Structure 1
Amino acid sequence: MAGDVLTQAEIDALLSAISTGVVSAEEMKVEQKQHKIKVYDFKRPDKFSKDQIRTLYMLHENFARLLNTYLATHLRSFVHIDVVSVDQLTYEEFVRSMPNPSVISIFQMRPLKGNAVLEINPNIVFSIIDRLFGGPGLPPPKSRSLTDIEEAIVRRVIVRSLETLQESWKQVITIEPRLEVIETNPQFTQIVPPNDMVVIVTLQAKIGQTEGFINVCIPYLVIEPVMSKLTTTYWVASSVAKQSSEENIASLQRKLEKTVVPVIVELGRVKITVQELLDLSVNDVLQLESWAEGELTLLVGQREKFTCKPGLSGKRLAVQITQKISKGDEDDD
């Protein structure tokens, strides 16, 4: 967008003029030095400074890392996501650049007012769907719209992806992304007037052998209230302050204490053959390896942590912990 692109006819005419001597290469160099004029379009003025663009780039690099980790774990496949560019252009130009059909998610960024767009290339979407359905992660040969079942699956993936966006924006503002609707036709996604400026964060995603782009479109009007925070100085300072904050440590501790952990009391175990399993019927008795008067094993998660004795507490079954099992603790590793 920095300059005009010459047509093939204009290029041919220029080369012809140089070859015939009408225009010399030296004259062109002198003229280029004399006219150093920067073109400014008042219809689409620059809304974001270079420092703000740089901050948005770093901010969404963190988003790319978090999204990469989530998809790699969820899909159990090779995933690589990188930020390619951060550009500012009109919303109309962004809409024209999207393929049809595509997967376009319109979401809110509360408490910021207005909507933003998360656009994912159909090849990436169908690769995710195929992988979740047990396939190798290959898109269909021809692009198409999502079925109702596929849309329900994609909706869950997008909601989780927006949570990673929330995490990456925490150093600037605590947002609560909320998915509004998923569209396939770019013409149905008019969230702002066509000439309004937006910032486009383009990420290149590779899932297995499939490649495509993921675009985050945020209108200027949405992030205008926090523009003063979109500076490298503020971003780095808030990052350092967050790492050393006692409140942050206390918050993490509170969240950890509220984590739900399954606790299981194992009555006993028995090993049988597949034939014996097939021959089981009503009133058959399986003899466990544990004794009736012996102690039971209490598992926290999938680890044996305590031994206990069964009993009653009021009208409920209960166990009384008798000993701690230290095997597998970090102190013993």
Structure 2
Amino acid sequence: MAETVDHAQVEEVLDTIEDSDAAAEPASGGMSFTAAAPAIPTGPTSYDFGHPDLLSREQARSMRTLHQGFAQALAKRLSTDLLSTVTATIGAVDHLTYAEFQMLLPTPTVLGVVDVPVLGGRIAVDLNPRIAFSFVDRILGGPGAPLEGNRALTAIELGLTNRIMQRTCEELGRMWKPIQEIEFSFLSIEANPELARVVNPDEMVVLITLELEMNETKGQMNLCLPYVVMEPAIHRLAQKNAAPALGEGEARHVEDALQDSLRRAPVTVDVDLGSVMISLRELLALQEGDVLRITPAAAKGALASIQGVPRMSGVPGISRNRRALRVESVHPPKPESGS
């Protein structure tokens, strides 16, 4: 049965609600209020229509995981091509307009324009000039020293940098393959960011930053992915059960890429035919046609080293008019001494 309350009781209840943010004085019946109910926001919530949130939390996490695998695969590929250790770690995953992305880049820069036919658009890959010149110096046989200052690439340097961009596109396509078959076709490199026609300036892009390092030279690689282009692939990435498939596909790709890189990796094989002791006077008097008698022990066999590590012994000779070594025994690798 409903109970009727008078006006005084209603006023008392309203006063209690208004004062609920502070501790209330004990009532005559001995009861007291010590906590207030959580306030419910009633005001407007700010929203930036110029920079809307493109990625959900799950999408952002999936994009980071995907490109972590890409960074590892790219580092292994570059390490093989450059015969030097290259590391790559993923940095920020952000979103901004394409015009803002262009303003972040120096002039001149190394900005690769990449076509994505299956998605009907283009993306951009920016390589910091400092690390780009370091890669070029290594390709040309140098130690990988960076360029002091900044300038545009020469024709020869541009051709070498094109190869790096092509490798990047290949690894990017392999990493996206478990999600969607996407071909990233490298088109050209622009030194002036304003001349790179990728998408309208006011379009939103997803910016993924990689931190590259080789021989203490550091630089960034920025993947500029226009949302209007990559939206279908991003939605596929965030579908149910995409994360487990991504992890399995990523691990499989990294393993396949590593095996492929190892098969194609060039190695140096040195064959030691022996040694002979001569005086400095005899060394200075050596001429073409002179014969050096090697030690008898060395004449019985030759030691072959791979990358400076002795691995096999054999008999030197001639095969098809070329100097050759017939392998007689293989030495197992020596276990590394513990620290």
Which band: TM-score by shorter chain?
0.5 to 0.7
CA contact (8 A) 2:212 2:219 kept: yes
Q: 1:218 aligns with which of 217, 225, 228?
A: 225
1:83 equivalent in alignment to 2:99 = no
Corresponding residue SS for 1:191: coil
One-letter amino acid of the counterpart of residue 286, structure 2: L
Q: Could you say if the C-alpha distance between residues 47 and 274 of structure 1 is closer, same or farther in structure 2, counting changes exceeding 3 Å?
A: farther
Which residue does the alignment assign to 1:35?
43
Partners of 1:312 and 1:170 in 2: how far apart?
Answer: 45
Contact 1:298 1:306 in 2 (8 A): yes
CA distance in 1, matches of 2:190, 2:136: 17
Give the aligned CA root-mean-square deviation in angstroms: 4.9
Asked if residue 60 in structure 1 is aligned to residue 67 in structure 2, the reply is yes
CA distance in 2, matches of 1:160, 1:149: 18
- Assess if the C-alpha contact under 8 Å between 2:312 and 2:329 holds in 1: yes
- In 2, the alpha carbon distance for the partners of 1:241 and 1:120 equals 29
Deviation at 1:167, TM superposition (A): 5.0
Aligned to 2:99: 92
Matched, 1:179 2:186: yes
In structure 2, stretches of 5+ residues that fail to align are: 1-39
Match of residue 235 from structure 2? 228
Q: Report deviation, 1:139.
A: 3.3
Call closer, same or farther: CA 1:34–1:248 in 2, change over 3 Å. closer
Deviation readout 1:259-307 (Å, 9 max, x if unpaired)? 6887979583233566544422233112233579845556677644353
Equivalence for 2:56: 49
SS at match of 2:293: coil
Question: 1:122 & 1:267 partners in 2: Cα distance?
Answer: 42
The equivalences for 1:1-333 within 5 A come to 33-39=41-47, 41=49, 47-67=54-74, 74=82, 81-87=89-95, 89-109=96-116, 112-126=119-133, 133-134=142-143, 137=146, 139-140=148-149, 143-166=150-173, 168-173=175-180, 175-204=182-211, 213-231=220-238, 234-242=241-249, 266=271, 268-271=273-276, 276-290=282-296, 294=300, 303-308=310-315, 323-328=328-333
Q: 1:276 to 1:166 in 2, by over 3 A?
A: farther
Q: Deviations over 1:164-193 (max 9, x none)?
A: 434543543455544321101112111223
Three-state SS of the structure 1 residue aligned to 2:92 is strand
Asked whether the 8 Å contact 2:67–2:90 carries over to 1, the reply is no
Distance in 2 (CA, whole Å) between partners of 1:275 and 1:177 is 63
What amino acid is the match of 1:282?
E
Larger radius of gyration: 2
State the alpha-carbon separation in 1 of the partners of residues 325 and 136 from structure 2.
45
Moved more, 226-235 or 215-224: 226-235
Q: 1:255 to 1:150 in 2, by over 3 A?
A: closer
**C-alpha distance in 1 between matches for 2:41 and 2:56:** 27
Aligned CA distance change for structure 1 residues 199 and 152 (closer, same or farther; 3 Å): same
CA shift for structure 1 position 319: 7.1
Cα distance in 2 between the residues matched to 1:119 and 1:256: 24
Matched residues in 2 for 1:150 and 1:280: separation?
42
User: Structure 1's 96 and 236: CA in aligned 2 closer, same or farther, altered over 3 A?
Assistant: same
* Maintained 8 Å contact 1:124/1:211: yes
* Of 176-185 and 149-158, the range deviating more from structure 2: 149-158
Please report the TM-score for the alignment, with normalisation by the length of structure 2.
0.62
Equivalent pairs, count: 293
Q: Is the 8 A contact 1:137 1:208 kept in 2?
A: no
CA contact (8 A) 2:128 2:220 kept: yes
2: CA distance, partners of 1:107 / 1:319: 47
1-structure distance, mates of 2:137, 2:323: 46
Counterpart of 2:129, as a letter, is: P
Instruction: Render the CA deviation track for 1:74-106: whole Å, top value 9, x for unaligned.
Output: 49689674412322x333333344333222111
Structure 1 range deviating more: 91-100 or 120-129: 120-129
CA 1:290–1:221: 2 relative to 1, 3 Å: farther
Change (3 A) 1:288 1:105: same
Q: TM-score, normalised by structure 1?
A: 0.63
Deviations 1:62-84, CA, capped at 9 Å, x for gaps: 33445556667849689674412
Matches of 2:299 and 2:79, distance apart in 1: 48
Q: CA 1:39–1:243 in structure 2 vs 1: closer, same or farther (change >3 Å)? A: closer
Q: Percent identity at matched positions? A: 26
